[in-house]
């Protein structure tokens, strides 16, 4: 018996009926159209919109949020089985039985994402007005941000996998453009390309998954695929599941496609907060949870998801421990936290709802901390090295307090947000497999270590600032969004967990099962909190109470490996990049010398090409006329022969 | 049957136009260009009007038929007509010509040939392109197939880059070789039709109705197929293309790679499959292997190139692999995808070649290494180049994605592993486009770039904008083209006796949720 066995029911069998969108729900398309129009104006009208472009960008995003709230209210007014609304826009691609419309689906799952994307998105737009105020290309930045929001909304609203793919790649494009926003830096240009190419490897997975769905079910719509998933062969479901997992690995920076996320920190910090923490990188979790019916039908696929999530959870956390660059430490943390979500998604119906719950809360507290990091950088001349931070609580009080909310939330200290989701994931993991359970527990301890290290190095201990730095608090336009996110980090988990409100809300889409534990369920939160406290204290003592060296010590083997991103890049270079470069170089030689050479050589041998070529060059018209004449004579002769 | 004059008009207008252009005094270059542009716009306008008359429901039939006896002794007719596939390819051709003329306004300035000669040759080429897609008599098709070579030869040889002579002769010899094989098969086909029915014919519909014995089919198929494989071109017949495209003016490269080469894949779809169905099935494994090799090999070559135009040419080798693959997997998704791919590839490659051309002419070098940081000094140029590149790498939301995905899904449903390998091409495509973009457009700005490269001007924007609009529009709303193409593809599928594989699980009717 597999160590990862677990009771599974098919969520899709309880799937609610689909309602054609009417009334308020006819506004669904506006969610996407508003930011899309914003992006189009900002990117097409160019410098003419420089003066007010950022306000337009903010307006477009906020308007989309207002529509989202209207839709949410309308959805609350519907009964549970009336909440899946589908809006048909037009027919996109139809060839034979391959018939894909542009349909948008708003249900509890996509509604959650829509609120997260437009809500946090709008806050980050507002923050960026301040953060990017000195950049002469601020308008272009907002154009890309709007493009991102539109694409991400398309991703979560699509009612079929091919349309989802458009949003999927659209966010990838926006991410590419934003990582490379400062394209005149080589490092940014390289990082953006890397992100796109690695994501493309994941896209191979999504492409194959869609093709497999079509071959298996004759459909690529959610209803057509997920509604019949239980009827497909287990082998097919496993392959589809694995292909979807590959896609998720690319987008969500999971092992083995994790390497791009740390480099992605080349982008401006609001981008790291919105795209590379709160929303886009969580798309893989969405994909897996949305495709729950596929994974319900395949134990091997679920196990693969759990393994990938567990590995990345630990990898990201270990990398996070060793980084001195505040953004890279947070990026490692993001990898790790998404590892939690992926792992939870792999647990099946015991985990789906909590994967999304954690995703939502992580969106709040990680965006809070990334924006906080941006605020710190803003006050520190864009320095990111935490070894030159320290004691910033004295000069950046608001940033310190708000960051603290995020820190407590990610640690999972009750009643802060992270506690409610992470604890449930740990519980669910134990119910499926002790190994997975142990990983989530240990991960919680490591998380406490690296987050406390980051927090202490930045805000506590001695000031280690370079001489030219005069730290100061950021303007209100940046602090206001942070404050909101800090508040959400503090209380959202508690509020949404009242009467299981959030999980019950999602249940009709994701299904829900109570985890069955062989021991009292009170054991786990206590164990988790003990581990968290140990981790936090282990970090607090050296980084808050003792002097932190301004130059990183050499460190042991593990530290050095973690600093080198656990050799992910080195492996990519050795296995793909360098052999690839040799291969293409050799192939170019091969094409020029061998393929072309054989052709030229053969021609020269048979017909004396080189000589004839020279003649053609000198007296072309005659020669051509001759060959045409030759051809014509041949035709004539043949035609005569035919008549005979 | 009454004759329709639409197609004849599309042939005659550019031809007469070319003659008119040649009457313009040699020194008055601007007038010659303006006249040529006007004529190409009239031709395009006529095409639009014709497309509006096209009956979509009968897209499998040859509409706007025109036929007069040409060489009555051999039953050769000057016969024209278009099905859905030919229609969209003609529309592609006549829409690209004005764009090419406008974008390449100064391409022929200072060349060995005259400017009026350049634009006149482009108009002659346009007529030949219309003819080759519109011919419904195989002999007429052959004549246009060969006639296209003449203007292209001169366009490369007299207006091209430093190695234009080598490139032009290579192009010509390859094409003549292919043409000769096709001619032999054509004659053979005539003989066979004579033997089977008592009187030989070149009429496509009559020939397609014959049942030729499989062995003969194989021989005849080979002649046509090799000619088309050279034209398209498939690996290993491709090496003329990078030379020809790199040495051409950007405009010539657009028409050569964007339209002319499509005659190859168009020919495979219409002539190889419908005339020789048994032989097509027999050759399918070989063609599929060649096509997949082409996809991967062309992409790897593109990654390794140091010259912008050669790089773009090799991306096309990869794309032609996709198109040929879609044709021969014998599924409706594959074939409709291929037909759509021919159109989409025409537009996105046109954008790449033209914008690449703007870049090259400014800096005076085709070498990627001579560029860098262009986005800083010419953001509009860089932005349009990126969109064109993204279309080339088949970004979902842009036109090429729809066709590429259809080809892939059409392949996958019949040949799973072939589909998997072909799908890997999307990673390589991201590499060749984004590496080129990174090396030319980003990073610090070298002095030579800062001095010489300025942003796009009004005329250039005017030429490129329609291409980008089409690329985006067909990405989100390709159905009008597919509606026109699908019936013709169904006719081909019927001719080769193929049907799409059924899904493993019988689909639940949509909307009737349990």
Give the model confidence (pLDDT) of A69-86 as tens digits: 999 999 988 888 888 888
Residue A275's nearest CA partner among A354, A371, A183, A356 is: A371
CA distance A497 to chain B (A): 32
A99 strand-pairing partners:
A94
pLDDT for residue A603 = 59
Query: Cβ contacts (< 8 Å) between B506 and chain A: which residues?
Result: 218
Can you tell me the distance from the alpha carbon of A426 to that of A424, in angstroms, rounded to the nearest whole number?
A: 5
Pairing of strands A98-106, B63-71: unpaired
Count of Cβ atoms closer than 10 Å to residue B199 Cβ:
9
Other Cβ atoms within 10 Å of B304 Cβ, number: 23
Q: Work out the average pLDDT over A480-492.
A: 93
**A:96-135 residues touching chain B, CB 8 A cutoff:** 96-98, 102
Tokens 């031809």, residue located: B15
CA distance A68 to B212: 64
**In this predicted structure, what is the pLDDT of residue A564?**
82
Verify whether the Cβ–Cβ distance A183 to B413 is below 8 Å: no
Residue B170 pLDDT: 85
Closest CA to A14 of B103, B513, B108: B513
* Residue length of chain A: 644
* Among the listed residues B127, B110, B102, the one whose alpha carbon sits nearest the alpha carbon of residue B457: B102
Please, are residues A433 and A3 in contact by the beta-carbon 8 Å criterion? Answer: yes
Tokens 């009956």 locate to: B55
CB A389 within 8 Å of CB A458: yes
The whole-model pTM stands at 0.91
CB contact under 8 A, A624 and B396: no
CA dihedral B168, B170, B173, B177 (to 10 degrees): -130
Q: Per the domain annotation, does B406 fall within a domain?
A: yes
User: pLDDT value at position B509?
Assistant: 52
Helix (H, G, I), strand (E, B) or coil at A1: coil
Q: Chain B neighbours among A 138-177 (CB < 8 Å)?
A: 162, 165-166, 168-170, 173, 176
With the CA atoms of B236, B240, B245 and B248 taken in that order, what torsion angle do they form, in degrees rounded to the nearest 10? 180
Residue A7: band (very low, low, confident or very high) from pLDDT cuts 50, 70, 90: very low
- A256 prior amide bond cis, ω within 30: yes
CB contact under 8 A, A642 and B190: yes
Length of chain B measured in residues: 514
CB B337 within 8 A of CB B403: yes
Q: Which chain B residues are within 8 Å of A236, Cβ to Cβ?
A: 504
Q: Is B505 on the interface with A (CB under 8 A)?
A: yes
Using a CB–CB cutoff of 8 Å, tell me whether A577 touches chain B.
no
Residues of the domain holding B359? 276-496
Q: Do A95 and B444 touch (CB under 8 A)?
A: no
- Which residues from chain A sit within 8 angstroms of residue B333, using beta carbons? 95-96, 98
pLDDT, tens digit, for every residue of A100-139? 999 999 999 999 999 999 999 999 999 999 999 888 889 9
3-class DSSP assignment, residue A313: helix
Which tens digits make up the pLDDT trace of A135-156?
Answer: 888 999 999 999 999 999 999 9
Which pair of structure tokens corresponds to residue B479? 């159905």
Q: What would the two tokens of residue A305 be?
A: 């998801």
pLDDT level of residue A237 (50, 70, 90 thresholds): very high
Q: Residue A8 — very low, low, confident or very high, per pLDDT cuts 50/70/90?
A: very low
C-alpha to C-alpha distances, A360 to A289, A363, A364, A409, nearest whole angstrom: 13, 5, 7, 12
> CA-to-CA distance for B180 and B160, rounded, in angstroms?
26
Helices (H), A158-263: 161-179, 186-217, 222-226, 234-251, 259-263
d(CA A48, CA A52): 9
Residue A541, H or E segment: none
Sign, CA torsion A378/A384/A386/A387: negative
Identify whether the C-beta of residue B256 lies closer than 8 Å to the C-beta of residue B152.
Answer: yes
pLDDT-based confidence at residue A593 (cuts at 50, 70, 90): confident
Tokens of A134: 């000195």
What is the mean predicted confidence (pLDDT) over A394-408? 92
pLDDT at residue A635, rounded to an integer: 55
Residues A90, A101 contacting (CB under 8 angstroms): yes
CA angle at residue B192 from B190 to B195, to 5 degrees?
110
Any domain includes B323 = yes
pLDDT band, very low/low/confident/very high, at A574 (cuts 50, 70, 90) = confident
> Which tokens belong to B103?
């974008």
- Least confident range from A17-21, A114-118, A597-601, B464-468: namely A597-601
Residue in chain A nearest B157 by alpha carbon: A617
Question: Pick from B74, B239, B504: which is nearest to A216 by CB?
Answer: B504
Closest CA to B207 of B197, B187, B193: B193
Retrieve residue A358's tokens. 């954690």
Is residue B139 in a domain?
Answer: no
Asked whether A286 and A530 are in contact (CB, 8 A), the reply is no
Q: Which of chain B's residues have a Cβ under 8 Å away from the Cβ of A642?
A: 74, 187, 190-191, 194, 200
Q: Compute φ and ψ for A516, nearest 5 degrees.
A: -100, 115
> Angle at the Cα of A193 (from B305 to A361), degrees rounded to 5?
165
Helical (H) or strand (E) element with A105:
strand A98-106
Query: Which H or E run contains B172?
Result: helix B164-197
CB-based contacts of A620, cutoff 8 Å, min separation 6? B153, B157
In a domain, B221, yes or no: no
Q: How far apart, in whole angstroms, are the C-alpha atoms of residue B248 and residue B257? A: 11
From first CA to last CA, the distance across chain B in angstroms is 54
Query: For residue A45, what is the DSSP state?
Result: S
Q: Is residue B442 part of a domain?
A: yes
Tell me, yes or no, whether B75 lies in a domain: no
Model pLDDT, residue A1 = 34
Count other Cβ atoms within 10 Å, centred on residue A523: 12
Contact B413 A90 (CB under 8 A): no
Asked if A186 and A272 count as a contact pair (C-beta separation under 8 A), the reply is no
Element housing B165 (H / E): helix B164-197
Range in A10-14, A327-331, B14-18, B491-495 the model is least confident about: A10-14
In chain B, which residues have pLDDT < 50?
Answer: 510-514
Mean pLDDT for the stretch of residues A54-63: 94
Please report the sign of the dihedral spanned by the C-alpha atoms of residue A565, residue A571, residue A574, residue A578. Answer: negative
* Minimal Cβ distance to B395: which of A93, A95, A169: A169
Residue B227 domain-assigned? no
CA angle B300, B304, B309 (to 5 degrees): 100
Backbone angles phi, psi at B4, to 5 degrees: -100, 145
* Phi (first) and psi of residue A596, to 5 degrees: -70, -40
Burial label, A6 (beta-carbon count in 10 A; 0-12, 13-18, 19+) = buried
Calculate what percentage of chain A has a pLDDT beyond 70: 91
Q: Do B301 and A165 touch (CB under 8 A)?
A: no
Average pLDDT for chain A: 87
Encoding tokens for residue B333?
Answer: 């998704």
* Predicted local distance difference test score (pLDDT) of residue A5: 38
Alpha-carbon distance of B155 to A487, in angstroms, equals: 69
| Listed range (A337-351, A618-632, B277-291) with the worst mean pLDDT | A618-632
Q: What is the number of domains present in chain B?
A: 1
Q: Which of the four pLDDT bands, split at 50, 70 and 90, describes residue A605?
A: low
Residue B302 lies in a domain: yes
Q: What is the pLDDT of residue B507?
A: 61
Confidence of residue A9 (pLDDT cuts 50, 70, 90): very low
Would the CB atoms of B513 and A227 count as touching at under 8 Å? yes
Name the nearest CA neighbour of B135 among B3, B7, B269. Answer: B7
Q: Lowest-confidence range among A160-164, A181-185, B464-468?
A: A181-185
Concatenate the DSSP letters of all residues of B309-345 into one string: HHHHHHHHHHHHHHHHHHHHTT-HHHHHHHHHHHHHH
**pLDDT value for A595:** 82
pLDDT for position A22: 82
Contact in structure between A248 and A278 (CB atoms under 8 Å)? no
- Average pLDDT (A175-191) is 91
Asked if residues B386 and B468 have their Cβ atoms less than 8 Å apart, the reply is no
- In chain B, residues 416-435 whose CB comes closer than 8 Å to chain A: 416, 419-420, 423-424, 426-427, 430-431, 434-435
> Is there a contact between A472 and A380 (Cβ–Cβ < 8 Å)?
no
Q: How far is CA A438 from CA A426, B387, B474, in A?
A: 8, 47, 51
What are the backbone angles phi and psi of residue A172, rounded to the nearest 5°?
-65, -40
Burial of A624 (0-12, 13-18, 19+ CB in 10 A): middle
Place of tokens 């088309």: B228
């Amino acid at each position: 018996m597999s160590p990862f066995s677990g009771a599974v029911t098919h969520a899709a069998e309880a799937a609610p009926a689909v309602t054609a969108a009417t009334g308020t729900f006819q506004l669904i398309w506006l969610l996407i159209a508003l930011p899309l129009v914003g992006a189009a104006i900002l990117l097409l009208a160019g410098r003419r919109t420089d003066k007010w472009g950022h306000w337009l960008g903010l307006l477009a995003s906020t308007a989309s949020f207002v529509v989202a709230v209207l839709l949410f209210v309308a959805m609350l007014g519907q009964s549970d089985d009336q909440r899946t609304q589908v809006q048909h826009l037009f027919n996109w691609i139809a060839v034979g039985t391959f018939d894909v419309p542009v349909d948008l689906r708003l249900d509890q799952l996509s509604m959650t994402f829509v609120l997260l994307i437009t809500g946090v998105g709008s806050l980050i737009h507002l923050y960026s007005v301040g953060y990017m105020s000195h950049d002469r290309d601020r308008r272009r930045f907002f154009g890309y941000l709007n493009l991102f929001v539109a694409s991400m909304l398309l991703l979560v609203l699509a009612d079929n996998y091919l349309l989802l793919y458009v949003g999927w790649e659209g966010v990838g494009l926006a991410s590419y453009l934003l990582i490379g926003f400062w394209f005149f830096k080589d490092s940014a240009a390289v990082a953006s390309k890397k992100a796109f190419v690695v994501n493309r490897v994941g896209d191979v997975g999504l492409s194959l998954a869609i093709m497999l769905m079509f071959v298996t079910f004759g459909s690529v719509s959610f209803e057509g695929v997920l509604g019949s998933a239980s009827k497909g062969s287990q082998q097919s479901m496993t392959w589809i599941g694995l292909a979807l997992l590959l896609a998720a690995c690319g987008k969500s920076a999971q092992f083995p496609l994790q390497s791009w996320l740390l480099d992605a920190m080349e982008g401006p910090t609001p981008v790291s907060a919105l795209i590379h923490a709160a929303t886009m990188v969580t798309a893989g979790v969405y994909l897996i949870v949305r495709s729950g019916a596929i994974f319900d039908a395949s134990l091997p696929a679920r196990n693969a998801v759990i393994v990938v999530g567990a590995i990345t959870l630990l990898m990201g956390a270990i990398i996070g421990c060793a980084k001195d660059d505040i953004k890279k430490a947070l990026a490692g943390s993001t990898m790790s936290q998404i590892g939690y979500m992926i792992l939870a998604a792999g647990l099946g119906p015991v985990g789906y709802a909590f994967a999304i719950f954690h995703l939502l809360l992580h969106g709040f507290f990680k965006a809070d901390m990334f924006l906080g990091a941006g605020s710190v950088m803003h006050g520190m001349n864009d320095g990111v090295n935490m070894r030159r931070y320290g004691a910033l609580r004295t000069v950046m009080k608001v940033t310190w307090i708000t960051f603290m909310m995020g820190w407590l939330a990610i640690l999972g200290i009750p009643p802060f947000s992270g506690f409610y989701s992470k604890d449930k994931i740990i519980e669910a993991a134990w119910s499926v497999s002790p190994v997975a359970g142990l990983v989530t527990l240990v991960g919680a301890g490591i998380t406490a270590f690296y987050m406390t290290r980051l927090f202490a190095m930045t805000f506590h201990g001695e000031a280690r600032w370079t001489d030219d730095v005069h730290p100061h608090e950021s303007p209100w336009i940046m602090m206001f969004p942070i404050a909101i996110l800090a508040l959400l980090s503090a209380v959202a988990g508690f509020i949404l967990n009242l009467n299981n409100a959030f999980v019950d809300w999602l249940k009709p889409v994701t299904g829900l099962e109570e985890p069955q534990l062989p021991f009292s369920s009170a054991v786990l939160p206590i164990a988790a909190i003990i581990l968290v406290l140990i981790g936090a204290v282990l970090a607090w003592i050296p980084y808050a109470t003792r002097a932190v060296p301004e130059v990183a010590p050499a460190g042991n083997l593990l530290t050095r490996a973690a600093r080198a991103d656990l050799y992910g890049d080195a492996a990519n270079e050795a296995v793909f990049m360098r052999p690839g470069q040799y291969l293409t170089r050799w192939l170019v030689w091969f094409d020029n010398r061998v393929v072309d050479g054989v052709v030229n050589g053969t021609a020269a041998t048979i017909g004396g090409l080189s000589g004839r070529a020279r003649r053609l060059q000198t007296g072309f018209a005659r020669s051509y006329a001759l060959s045409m004449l030759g051809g014509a004579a041949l035709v004539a002769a043949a035609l005569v022969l035919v008549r005979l | 049957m009454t004759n329709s004059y639409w197609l004849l008009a599309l042939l005659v207008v550019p031809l007469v136009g070319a003659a008119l252009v040649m009457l313009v005094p040699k020194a008055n270059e601007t007038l010659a260009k303006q006249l040529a542009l006007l004529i190409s716009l009239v031709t395009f306008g006529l095409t639009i009007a014709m497309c509006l008359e096209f009956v979509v429901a009968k897209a499998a039939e040859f509409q706007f038929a025109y036929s007069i006896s040409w060489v009555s002794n051999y039953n050769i007719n000057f016969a024209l007509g278009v099905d859905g596939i030919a229609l969209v390819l003609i529309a592609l051709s006549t829409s690209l010509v004005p764009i090419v003329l406008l974008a390449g306004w100064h391409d022929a300035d200072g060349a060995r040939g005259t400017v009026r000669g350049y634009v006149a040759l482009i108009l002659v080429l346009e007529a030949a392109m219309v003819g080759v897609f519109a011919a419904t008599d195989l002999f007429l098709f052959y004549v246009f197939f060969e006639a296209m070579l003449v203007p292209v030869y001169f366009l490369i040889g007299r207006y091209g880059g430093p190695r234009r002579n080598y490139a032009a002769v290579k192009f010509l010899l390859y094409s003549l070789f292919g043409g000769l094989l096709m001619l032999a098969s054509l004659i053979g086909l005539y003989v066979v039709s004579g033997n089977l029915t008592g009187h030989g014919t070149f009429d496509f519909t009559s020939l397609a109705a014959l049942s030729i014995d499989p062995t003969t089919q194989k021989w005849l198929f080979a002649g046509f197929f090799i000619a088309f494989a050279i034209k398209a071109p498939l690996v290993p017949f491709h090496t003329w293309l990078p030379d020809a495209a790199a040495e051409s003016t950007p405009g010539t490269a657009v028409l050569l790679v964007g339209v002319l080469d499509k005659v190859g894949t168009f020919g495979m779809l219409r002539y190889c499959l419908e005339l020789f169905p048994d032989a097509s099935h027999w050759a399918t494994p070989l063609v599929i292997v060649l096509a997949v090799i082409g996809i991967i090999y062309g992409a790897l070559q593109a990654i390794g190139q140091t010259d912008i135009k050669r790089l773009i040419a090799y991306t096309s080798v990869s794309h032609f692999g996709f198109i040929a693959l879609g044709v021969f997997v014998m599924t409706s998704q594959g074939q409709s995808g291929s037909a759509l791919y021919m159109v989409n590839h025409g537009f996105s490659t046109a954008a790449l070649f033209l914008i690449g051309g703007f870049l090259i002419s400014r800096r005076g070098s085709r070498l990627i290494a001579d560029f860098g940081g262009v986005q800083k000094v010419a953001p509009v140029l860089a932005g349009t180049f990126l969109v064109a590149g993204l279309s080339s790498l088949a970004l979902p939301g842009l036109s090429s994605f729809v066709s590429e995905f259809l080809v892939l899904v059409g392949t996958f449903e019949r040949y799973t592993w072939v589909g998997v390998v072909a799908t890997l091409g999307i990673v390589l495509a991201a590499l060749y486009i984004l590496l080129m973009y990174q090396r030319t457009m980003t990073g610090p700005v070298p002095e030579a770039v800062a001095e010489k490269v300025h942003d796009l001007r009004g005329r250039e924007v005017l030429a490129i904008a329609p291409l980008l609009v089409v690329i985006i529009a067909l990405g989100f709303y390709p159905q009008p083209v597919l509606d026109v193409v699908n019936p013709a593809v169904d006719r081909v599928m019927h001719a080769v006796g193929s049907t799409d594989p059924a899904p493993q699980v019988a689909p639940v009717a949509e909307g009737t949720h349990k």
